[in-house]
Structure 1
Amino acid sequence: MTEVASTQAVSATPARSGEFTLGWKVLLAGFLGTMCGASPLPFNVLGFLFKPLEAEFGWNVQQVSIGITIFGITASLLAPVFGWLADRHGVRRVAIWSLVGFVITFSSLYFTPPTLAGFYFLWLLVGMIGIGSTPVTWSRGLSLWFVKQRGLALGIMLVGTSAAAFIVPQLAVWSSDNFGWRAIFPIVALLPLLIALPATLAFFREPLAEERPATLSTATGELAGMTFKQAVRTRQFWILWFSIFLIASAYGGAHIHMPAIVGDHGIDRSAAAGIMGIVGIGLLCGRIGVGFLLDRMWGPAVAFPVLCLPAIACYFLLGTSSEMMMISFAAFFLGFAAGAESDLIAFLAARYFGMAHFGRIYGMLYMPFGLMSAISPVIYGTVRVKTGSYDGMLMAAAAMFVIGGALLLLLGRYPDQQKAE
């Protein structure tokens, strides 16, 4: 699009529809990249590896689960590095090479050796390469195209993880049934190779200066925003960081252990699967609904009541009552809040710190999310083993949800304009 054409497109379209008119292709690529990237795919195949790996190698559930924990921790620690690379070299380049690397490393799990060390090393490689194919990258690209409807755009992008939850398990089961468990990895890796990578090559890019929303630029045409050093010196950064840490600590294990938690309430496996479907519906509603509200209200005012919902859910899940209505509400509340959290990290990072160094700043804020999402399931499991119940952890999680949400109320008003250094 030429400068004249893009200017006419902006002026001829109302502000709210104009962003989607200009940025819908980038949003599509971000949606497909999120759906087929390293954020949802590994977690959606894990449950189908426990039995075959135990049968072939004698590894128990805990030993297999450590692989995904290594992946999550490695990816989280490297998120600021990939964010910095996106700031320096552009999101398109990082997204393309990370997708290629993710396809190769994830497929390499086909060659899992009969040693846990080898299995863990392969997951380490996936974490080292794949983080660039997660929202750390896609969120920066979208936030450069969308301002007035950024919350909704980010919500739509993150629906990709929900879409993966419907597609990947079916593909994993089909692969395992027809070709054995090893085939799960290269076959599922066809999703980033044949869907996300072509869409990224065709559509995903940063806007030209004349396409960029005016509020993102300084008077000299540079991207507005704090430097990384400026951001980490603000109280807003550390309030956000600690809030994300608490909420991820509370939610990560609750999601993974949800079938076992409802099992303690006397719910059978088939009904537990239905409960997980309700969690998925909550995720979808949270991402779209909260994204819509973020564009119209002060973010922390949206976040606090939403993050109180999972605290109520934890209360509903205490004890062993088999009241399905109460358990269903708990599942929906947990999913709704989890969908909201993913939106909030990117949205609030852009609003409080600007876009000039968004990648690295967002990467640092993604770190506690990824770390505790990987570690929290171990904590939940440990509490269950030590006490014979999830109740102690659920009570602690309820407190963490409320405190994490309340902390966001201390962020203060959005800055009117960030200045690039």
Structure 2
Amino acid sequence: MKTSRMFYGWWVVIASIMGMIISQGPVLVFTFGIFMKPLSAEFGWSRSQVSLALTIAILTAAIFTPWIGRLIDRKGARQVAIPALLLFGVGIMSLGLLPANLVLFYIAFAVIGLLSTGGTPTPYAMAVNCWFIRRRGLALGLSMAGIGLGAALLPMLAQHAVAALGWRWAYVVMGLVIVLGAGGVAWKLQNKPADLGLFPDNQPTASGLPHSPDKVGLNAGRALRSRTFWLIGAAFFLAALAINGCSVHFVPLLTDRGVPAGEAARIASIIGIALIIGRVGAGYLLDYLFAPFVTVFFFIGPVIGILLLYSGATGVTAMICAALIGLGVGAEVDLIAYLIARYFGLRAFGEIYGYLFGLFCLGTAFGPLLMGVGQTLTGSYDAVLLLFACCMVVACVLMLFVGRYPDLHALQKGSTVSPPASHALSGSSAS
């Protein structure tokens, strides 16, 4: 008796989850707060000085991510992601050798930022978008939920490693985790169905020939000239500035309020758990509802969470803050991927994603720096927290002006780039 086999696209999702667990966000951003005080204590640097290293790393990633995206468009997700992860793991291990030299500290993080670019969501989002059309939102949400798993697990692993082995060996442990995880990614990640003689969604075309959704859409130049691109980019820059700024400093903020480091790390891990819920929940809703409205819904949570942090949250209230902020973090990356597929198509997905993710990285870079500078200058995070709440409100407003989904086939043939201003509440099937 012939048994049914799981659609290979779901294996691609599983490989993407593994890749996302050990990606730039969980490894660099979400564990950085664990290393912040040990680095400050050993070298005598202020938090703003230490935070600048992460800013440099993310800025470097922002600069090179569009180039990596172009490389993915030409070579394929698998060919870029696997060697990049191995190099990223070795780079993280090398941080255990850092000397007491601030300039070398910044140079090391610039190199790490460059090595992290292939381990961003770009290759996985490209692969998943090629494998799925009808269930694209859910598939993206599940694959990007790996960031949530990483954000929940890696800070606790880093905290235990720092406590047991010191921060230097903790970096070695983190690097080894990345190298081992790269093997899991290599196991099942494939670029697109046509490479295996399969079809998106496991649905054969009328001609019986593999369909390539990566051939439909705008080139990067036309996307960059559109109003839609810059509305989306500005909204996610502001969201990344606020949400990731709070996430990186969440542990130091709580310990400043008298919360023990171990408990603070456990509370911060709720961000990762909520991130998973946000990823999967946003992905599911994207298949049924208008994507900008889904985006606004998931941006409202961090507004409330940041305001609660400003009010002096600890204990249970801090857990609620972590959950609300985590929901926003959870929706970001897969929302960007889905919005690109719906508004610009997959023809130049990697490069367009690279530019938008670069803007997202700029926010991620400057958010923690602003938090660190605010704390250094005033001894408190309060002023920056208020600023971040305002940023999230503006991001919500920008997303309401994005407009309805365009006809990608018509745009590709040369009609106007900017979609009309009226909204569509449905139309979840991708062109």
Measured against the shorter chain, the TM-score band is: 0.7 to 0.9
Return the alpha-carbon distance in structure 2 between the equivalents of residues 228 and 153 of structure 1: 24
Kindly indicate whether the alpha-carbon contact (under 8 Å) linking 2:24 and 2:120 is maintained by their aligned counterparts in 1: yes
Match of 1:333 in 2: 324
Answering whether residue 219 of structure 2 is matched by residue 227 of structure 1, we say yes
8 Å CA contact retained: 1:33, 1:200: no
1:106 positional shift: 2.2
Q: Map Cα deviations across residues 306-339 of structure 1 (whole Å, 9 max, x no partner).
A: 21222222333333476x5554433322111121
Q: Report Cα offsets for 1:92-133 as digits up to 9, x if no partner.
A: 111122122212322222332332222222221111122111
Paired AA for residue 313 in structure 1: G
The residue aligned with 1:313 is 305
Moved more, 174-183 or 246-255: 174-183
1:363 matched to which residue of 2? 354
TM-score by length of 2: 0.83
Structure 1: how far apart are the matches of 2:47 and 2:152?
A: 23
Return closer, same or farther for 1:51/1:252 CA change in 2, 3 Å cut-off.
closer
Unpaired stretches in structure 1, ≥5 consecutive residues: 1-8
2:142 to 153, 156, 177: 156
Quote the residue 2:272 is aligned against.
280
Separation (CA, whole Å) in 2 of partners of 1:396 and 1:55: 29
Counterpart amino acid of residue 281 in structure 1: I
Matched position secondary structure for 2:194: coil
Within 5 A, what are the aligned runs for 1:43-122? 43-50=29-36, 52-54=38-40, 56-122=42-108
Residue 109 of structure 2 is matched in structure 1 by: 123
- Supply the distance in 2 between the matched residues of 1:193 and 1:42 (Cα, whole angstroms): 15
Aligned counterparts of 2:42 and 2:257: Cα–Cα separation in 1: 33
CA deviation string 1:293-318 (max 9, x = no partner): 01111101212232122222233333
Alignment of 1:141-290 (within 5 A): 141-173=127-159, 175-176=161-162, 180-208=166-194, 211-213=198-200, 223-262=215-254, 272-290=264-282
AA in 2 matched with 1:240: I
The Cα offsets for residues 181-237 of structure 1, whole Å up to 9 and x where unpaired, read as 333333322223222234325433322175343899999987101000111111111
Gaps of 5+ in 2: 414-431
User: Residue by residue, what CA displacement relative to the aligned partner does 1:247-275 show, whole Å, maximum 9, x if unpaired?
Assistant: 11221212223345556777665654453
> Which SS does the other structure have where 1:39 is aligned?
helix
Matches within 5 A, 1:376-395: 376-395=367-386
1:93/1:382 CA distance change after superposition, 3 Å: same
How many angstroms apart in 2 are the aligned matches of 1:225 and 1:218? 18
User: More displaced, 348-357 or 39-48?
Assistant: 39-48
Q: Which residue of 1 aligns with 2:399?
A: 408
Query: In the aligned structure 2, how far is the partner of 1:379 from the partner of 1:358?
Result: 31
2:311 aligned counterpart, secondary structure: coil
Output the CA distance in 2 between the equivalents of 1:222 and 1:404. 29
Contact 2:278 2:326 in 1 (8 A): yes
Distance in 2 between the 1:271 and 1:178 partners?
A: 16
> Contact between 1:264 and 1:320, CA under 8 Å: does it hold in 2?
no
The residue that corresponds to 1:300 in the other structure is 292
Aligned residues of 2:82 and 2:185 also touching (Cα < 8 A): no
RMSD: 3.1
Return the offset for 1:389.
4.2
Distance 2:41 2:263 in 1: 27
- Give yes or no for the alignment of 1:34 onto 2:20: yes
Q: Secondary structure of 1:414's match?
A: coil
Aligned length: 404
Are the counterparts in 1 of residues 51 and 372 from structure 2 also a CA contact under 8 Å? Answer: no
* Residue 382 of structure 1, CA deviation: 2.7
Residues 188, 321 of structure 1: alpha-carbon distance in 2 compared, 3 angstrom cutoff: closer
Residue aligned with 1:113, SS? coil
Q: What is the TM-score normalised by the length of structure 1?
A: 0.85
Q: What is the alpha-carbon distance in structure 2 between the residues aligned to residue 177 and residue 52 of structure 1?
A: 10
What amino acid does structure 1 have at the position aligned with 2:149?
Answer: A
d(CA) in 1 for partners of 2:256 and 2:157? 30
